[in-house]
């Protein structure tokens, strides 16, 4: 059996609602799962079950109170639960790509540079990075006239495609996808599904959430819940 590219062991995450008298809200209660290179694991829980929280914890945005999140990073394994901020940034730069539900960018930065930025952070020369950014923007149907503009002015569907572009422009070994096809028209959804399939075929370990049953059936090599597993 292949060594997992991502392994989550007994992860627990509880939020404390300070504005509501310190109420504690358990969200992840001993979650365990693994994703090998070349697998596409889709979480099929209903809304509110903690799927997005799990993805944010893997990416290092949230820190679990217990458990481990083991990521194969280069030639070693990194536990994202206890990793230093510098190491978390290094893992994000080279190993984990994360398509979140919201695009957060610096205003006034042209979309071509927004998409090229992860490549620049990984050491790719500016013009080479911008050239790759232009190619994936064109593939995702972002009109060339928009490339010099900031994506903060774009529609929701256009922003989601930019979100996808800035992750898939880099061949990350691990991909976290939080509803990557949400708010997209049929043609854009088709292209995003193709990009995910290509990443899966090159050996990326993919963990994501997809509410669209047809997209889930097409992409998933395995369907899981945050409780017992369900059939694909």
The confidence score (pLDDT) of residue 47 equals: 82
pTM: 0.92
* Torsion angles phi and psi, residue 180, rounded to 5: -70, -20
10-residue mean pLDDT series, the chain (232 residues):
87 82 82 95 87 94 93 95 95 96 83 96 95 97 95 91 96 96 92 96 95 91 74 38
How far, in Å, CA of 189 to CA of 194, rounded?
9
Tokens representing 30 are 């001993």
How far, in Å, CA of 122 to CA of 201, rounded?
22
Residue 105, Cβ neighbours under 10 Å: how many?
18
The confidence score (pLDDT) of residue 230 equals: 42
Tokens representing 93 are 């730069």
The confidence score (pLDDT) of residue 22 equals: 73
How far, in Å, CA of 173 to CA of 168, rounded?
11
The confidence score (pLDDT) of residue 67 equals: 95
Mean residue pLDDT of the chain comes to: 91
The confidence score (pLDDT) of residue 107 equals: 81
Tokens representing 48 are 């509110």
Q: What angle, rounded to 10 degrees, do the helices at 186-201 and 156-168 form? A: 10
* Torsion angles phi and psi, residue 197, rounded to 5: -60, -40
The confidence score (pLDDT) of residue 1 equals: 54
Question: If you search the block for the tokens 């693994």, which residue do you land on?
Answer: 34
How far, in Å, CA of 183 to CA of 160, rounded?
7
Pairing relation of β-strands 174-178 and 4-17? unpaired
Task: Indicate the helix (H) or strand (E) that contains 97.
Answer: strand 96-99
How far, in Å, CA of 113 to CA of 130, rounded?
7
Task: Indicate the helix (H) or strand (E) that contains 178.
Answer: strand 174-178
How far, in Å, CA of 55 to CA of 65, rounded?
15
The confidence score (pLDDT) of residue 31 equals: 93
Residues 6+ apart with CB under 8 A from 47: none
């Amino acid at each position: 059996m292949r060594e997992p590219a991502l392994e989550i062991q007994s992860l627990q995450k509880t939020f404390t609602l300070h504005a509501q008298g310190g109420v504690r809200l358990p969200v992840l209660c001993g979650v365990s799962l693994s994703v090998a290179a070349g697998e596409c694991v889709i979480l099929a829980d209903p809304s509110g079950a903690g799927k997005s929280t799990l993805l944010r914890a893997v990416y290092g945005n949230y820190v679990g109170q217990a458990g481990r999140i083991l990521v194969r990073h280069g030639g070693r394994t990194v536990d994202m639960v206890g990793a230093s901020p510098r190491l978390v940034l290094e893992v994000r730069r080279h190993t984990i790509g994360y398509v979140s539900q919201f695009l957060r960018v610096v205003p006034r930065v042209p979309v071509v540079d927004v998409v090229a930025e992860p490549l620049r952070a990984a050491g790719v020369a500016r013009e080479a990075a911008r050239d790759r950014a232009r190619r994936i923007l064109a593939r995702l149907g972002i009109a060339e006239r928009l490339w010099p503009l900031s994506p903060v002015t774009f529609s929701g569907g256009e922003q989601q495609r930019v979100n996808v572009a800035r992750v898939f422009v880099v061949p990350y070994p691990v991909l976290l996808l939080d509803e990557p096809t949400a708010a997209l028209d049929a043609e854009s959804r088709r292209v995003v599904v193709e990009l995910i399939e290509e990443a899966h075929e090159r050996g990326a370990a993919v963990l994501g959430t997809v509410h669209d049953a047809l997209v889930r059936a097409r992409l998933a090599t395995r369907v899981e819940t945050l409780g017992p597993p369900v059939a694909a």
